[in-house]
Structure 1
């Protein structure tokens, strides 16, 4: 994988007890503690699957065992691969039943997937959080479903950007992300972004929108992948 490629892995919702037990076994103590804190069995399962998938995907890039991968938190809490000799950058997002993992070989990366929610007051939320032009873009859609789809698309682009940059979402929501404009060095949010980023919409299951952001203004290609859970040991 080159620095100008990003693999975006769609992670299916796994329900096999044997697979779930295996994935739980590769998590570290902190991840297992976070999983146990979920009251909902569905939420707990999705956490285990998503974070287990991250470990296996990173292991496939580094050659390390999935259980041996270590993560550290960046200045804004973003997890990063701890191995100083590794140039792997990885990011995870999940919404509803869908999880996605983005991985690159050097450029800072953020991925986000958003479920389309037609019952949400997307016009009011867009006016509250988005620049005026983007709020109007949401409002001008033909019906509630179309407005919700536009809102989810813009939100996924903004959150992917924030996750790549490592900043705060409240600031990133004010950054214009309507294609093809790349975020400027100084944004309406008043946040000094250290470099440009490129944001790309990526394929998502029906009822969802997703995007990926990479640091730098060089072009890159997106390679969609579907993750298959490993066969658990007998």
Structure 2
């Protein structure tokens, strides 16, 4: 499976036009502050319930990150499918994992999104379960205590031994991307499994193995993608 990272330049109204080959996962990295005008121009794509949700946020940045992610999902997926954005519906499955529908039928394109700090990140793939997570690197005195509580023994030991907050966020984004990929979200105990960044998770889930890939964003953010395959030859 090939991973393609897309960092669009928003100088053209056709910036979201793209195709999605079956052997490829595409990861889109968007900077919300540079896209506020674009979000306002495309606000009408949102459904009434979505507008109510995002306008209820207290912080402006939370509203913009959420709205940008939702609009971008519809614009990108409609381009992949050759459909109008109004024909794309976003539904939620077990544990709240979102999926795409058209005319009540679930589509073969899977997606996942995450946002933090300046970044909204989206990942798309055909017939492959995926999860993505991005986190702004923040200085936290308690990060070693969080590692002791949420990480597996080997992950916890590595973070404490290196005393490195960036390593903490590498593990955190990898673990969150994984639980989002398998569809459990935060309902799965983070300490119950280990991840290997650039490798596979320590467990086989739903008869699949799970690859963990770090995505380079910038010096202020860490991000990971997780996806599942039936055997290691497909990774």
My pick for the range that moved more, 161-170 or 16-25, is 16-25
The alpha carbon displacement at 1:182 in A equals 2.8
How many pairs align?
Answer: 211
CA distance in 2 between partners of 1:172 and 1:200 (Å) = 21
Alpha-carbon displacement from aligned partner over 1:188-232 (angstroms, at most 9, x marks no partner)? xxxx644221111111121111111111144678xxxxxxxxxxx
* SS at structure 2 position matched to 1:178: coil
How far residue 66 of structure 1 moved from its aligned partner, in angstroms, is: 2.2
Q: Which residue of 2 aligns with 1:97?
A: 118
> Which moved further from structure 2: 49-58 or 210-219?
210-219
Tell me which residue corresponds to 1:121: 142
Residues 116 and 30 of structure 1, relative CA distance in 2, 3 Å threshold = same
In 2 relative to 1, CA 8–176 (structure 1 residues): closer, same or farther, beyond 3 Å?
same
Of 23, 32, 47, the residue aligned with 2:66 is 47
- Aligned pair in 2 of structure 1 residues 181, 53: CA closer, same or farther (>3 Å)? closer
* Aligned-partner Cα distance in 1 for 2:232–2:51: 38
Shift of 1:15: 5.1
Matched with 2:25 is: 6
* SS state at 1:3 partner: coil
SS across alignment from 1:82: strand
RMSD: 2.1
Aligned mate of 2:174, from 146, 157, 168: 157
Indicate the structure whose relative CO is greater, using CA pairs within 8 Å and at least 6 residues apart: 1
In structure 2, relative to structure 1, the CA distance for the partners of 1:37 and 1:219 (3 Å cut) is farther
TM-score (norm 1): 0.82
| Structure 2 gaps, min length 5 | 1-19
Aligned twin of 1:196: 209
What TM-score, normalized to structure 2? 0.82
Match of 1:232 in 2: none
After superposition, the Cα gap between the structure-2 partners of 1:102 and 1:17, relative to the gap in structure 1 and judged at 3 Å, is closer
Describe the shift of the 1:69–1:219 C-alpha distance in structure 2 as closer, same or farther (beyond 3 A).
Answer: farther
What residue is the counterpart of 2:158 in the other structure? Answer: 137
1:1-234 residue pairs with structure 2 within 5 A? 1-14=20-33, 18-83=37-102, 84=105, 86-142=107-163, 147-174=164-191, 175-179=193-197, 180-185=199-204, 193-216=206-229, 217-218=231-232
Mark the CA change 1:181 to 1:7 in structure 2 (over 3 Å): closer, same or farther: closer
Instruction: Describe the superposition over 1:18-67 as per-residue Cα deviations: whole angstroms up to 9, x where unpaired.
Output: 42222321112222111111011222122211211111111111111223
Secondary structure of 1:128 counterpart: helix
